Amino acid sequence: MNPSTARPIKAKDRDTIIQALAAGVVPRIGLPHIQVGRAAEITALVRDIERISDGGAGVRFIIGEYGAGKTFFANLIRLIALERKCVTVHADLAPDRRIHAGGGQARALYSEAIRNMATRTKPDGGALGALIERLVTDSVKEAADRQLSVETVIDQKLAPIQDFVGGYDFAVVLKAYWRGSEHSDESLKTSALRWLRGEFSTKTEARQALGVRTIIDDDNVYDSLKSLACLTRLAGYAGLIVMFDEMVNIYKLQNSQARNQNFEEILRIVNDALQGNTTGIGFMMCGTPEFLLDTRRGLYSYEALQSRLSENRFAVNGLVDYSGPVIRLQSLTPEDLLVLLSNIRNVFASGDSAKFLVPDEALTAFMDHCNRRIGEAYFRTPRTTVRAFVQMLAVLEQNPGARWQDLIGGIQIAPDAPDIAVTEETTQSAGGEGDELTSLRIGN
């Protein structure tokens, strides 16, 4: 019934999973050992990956409450995409990282995403160099087979990328990397990778290093991602999956103009994906219900986005529709959470049932305790519950004389309700005044 018990768990995976869950964050590796539920949602995203691999495009908004498992779900889809020979890039939005900006915040988001580029052979990130090296190596081999110059083959390979906005400079930079590889010029190769990662801050510096007149900056982040998607396919991969988490940071922007500029860029992404204007690229953006539904600050405050992202009005009373851009993560059931706790217990035991720290009745007793403390929130937004369970098992593991019956009663559980207030930092990073009358206090 629990597939994870059928195979041993590596010590590295075990320690990474435990440390991450104890801190309330999602582990980068070992997710299949603890995954439960979400079968219909995963199936829908796998279809997206197949469509992107076929040369199509996709965009999804993963919506769920804080602690509901959005990041976990996105990381699981990322691992599936890597297994399907896709390239993935991902980044969290923050006050200094946004989809659209004028002060370097959009370029910072792009750079962070490219640093996290992953492939099946480099799942932990930093895969850009390996991807370019693969393209160059294949070109050299093809040139030898066809008895052509390497530069001719590279020009032929890179012809499709020049159809994109800024694609010509992508081609120039990639050829510069090849020249650096050909002549053992590490400085030239490093400059090419820096340009592709969006790390040049001035056009003058880029022109001196590479002979190009443009750089990746705030104005062309989305176009650069499309060129990068073309590049991944030229290098022999199935496509590019772009994941942006913590989209609530756009909702937090106090400046209405800054929010609308970000919404306009999101609308451009949505339109291109739904109309088939892009190929081989998919976007996954994770946010809270407020980020989507709030008609004053969320995506629904932008009429064009509201019309495109509105949910199927027939999907009510338990009926679901996963064909639209929005996927609302369904709550885990108590049965799902029971399996999750069992999986975590299995991770602690490294897959050996003889080393379980607690019996089955401890799992149900723990769930009953959580239910009495915070009600249904313990399985609807399970992050706090999982963290407490991991901490309890850690104490039992390190204190062999301790009894789980004594520990459960003393566990303090609180609903996962982080502060989503607008901060001064987000106001300043918006680059302007905030909304008028966002708060009003009348004194005596």
Residue 383 has what pLDDT?
78
In this structure, the answer to whether residues 139 and 205 fall within a common structural domain is yes
Which class for 415: exposed (0-12), middle (13-18), buried (19 or more C-beta within 10 A)?
A: middle
pLDDT computed for residue 381 by the predictor: 65
Q: For the segment 25-60, what is each residue's pLDDT rounded down to a tens digit?
A: 878 778 888 888 788 889 999 999 999 999 999 999
pTM of the model: 0.82
Side-chain-side CA neighbours of 290 within 13 Å: the count stands at 12
Q: How many domains does the chain have?
A: 3
Question: Across the strands, what pairs with 87?
Answer: 240
Q: Could you tell me if 208 and 338 lie in one domain? A: no
Average pLDDT over residues 187-191: 95
Instruction: Clarify whether residues 250 and 118 are in a common domain.
Output: yes
Alpha-carbon 273 to chain mean position: 18
Last residue of a domain, one of 219, 254, 289: 219
Is 241 in a helix, a strand, or coil?
strand
Q: Measured in whole angstroms, how far is the alpha carbon of residue 142 from the centre of its chain?
A: 35
Per-residue pLDDT tens digits for 117-158: 999 999 989 999 999 999 999 999 999 999 999 889 999 999
> Which tokens sit at 140?
């050299």
Same domain, 210 and 284: no
Tell me, what CATH number does 104's domain have?
3.40.50
Structural domain including 360 reads 1-37+332-416
User: pLDDT at residue 86 above 50?
Assistant: yes
> Are 18 and 348 in contact, with CB atoms under 8 Å apart?
yes
Question: Does 308 reside within a domain?
Answer: yes
Both structure tokens of 50: 């197949």
* Closest to 14 measured CA to CA, from 27, 3, 25, 1: 27
> What pLDDT score was predicted for residue 377?
61
pLDDT exceeds cutoff 50 at 2: no
Q: What was the pLDDT predicted at 80?
A: 93
The answer to whether 198 touches 97, Cβ cutoff 8 Å, is no
- Residue 196 tokens, joined: 């592709």
Closest by alpha carbon to 329, among 289, 273, 283, 302? 289
Look at residue 377 and tell me if it is in a domain: yes
Collapsed DSSP state (helix, strand, coil) of residue 54: coil
Residue 272 lies in a domain: yes
Q: How does residue 193 score in pLDDT terms, banded at 50, 70 and 90?
A: very high
- Sequence-distant (≥ 6) Cβ neighbours of residue 111 within 8 angstroms: 197, 198, 199
pLDDT per residue over 300-314, tens digit each? 999 999 999 998 888
- 119 and 61 share one domain: yes
For residues 169 and 154, membership in a common domain is answered with: yes
The DSSP-derived string for 103-139 is SSHHHHHHHHHHHT-B-SS-TTS--HHHHHHHHHHHH
Residue 136 CB neighbours (<10 A): 21
For the chain, what percentages of helix, strand and coil (3-state, to nearest 5) are there? Answer: 55, 5, 35
Could you tell me if residue 68 is inside a domain?
A: yes
**Same-domain status, 212 and 275:** no
Residue length, the chain? 444
Specify if 428 maps to a domain: no
φ/ψ of 243, rounded to 5, equals -120, 125
Rg for the chain, CA atoms, rounded: 24
Q: Are residues 182 and 162 in the same domain?
A: yes
> What's the pLDDT band for 441 if we cut at 50, 70, 90?
very low
User: Are residues 212 and 151 both part of a single domain?
Assistant: yes
Last residue of one domain, picked from the residues 294, 328, 362: 328
With a cut of 60, say whether residue 427 has pLDDT above it. Answer: no
DSSP calls for 68-97: SSHHHHHHHHHHHHHHTT-EEEEEE-BTTB
Evaluate whether residue 6 is within a structural domain: yes
- Residues 48, 17, single domain; the answer is no
Q: What are phi and psi of 349, to 5 degrees?
A: -90, 5
Judge whether 107 lies within some domain. Answer: yes
Contact 358, 391 (CB under 8 A): no
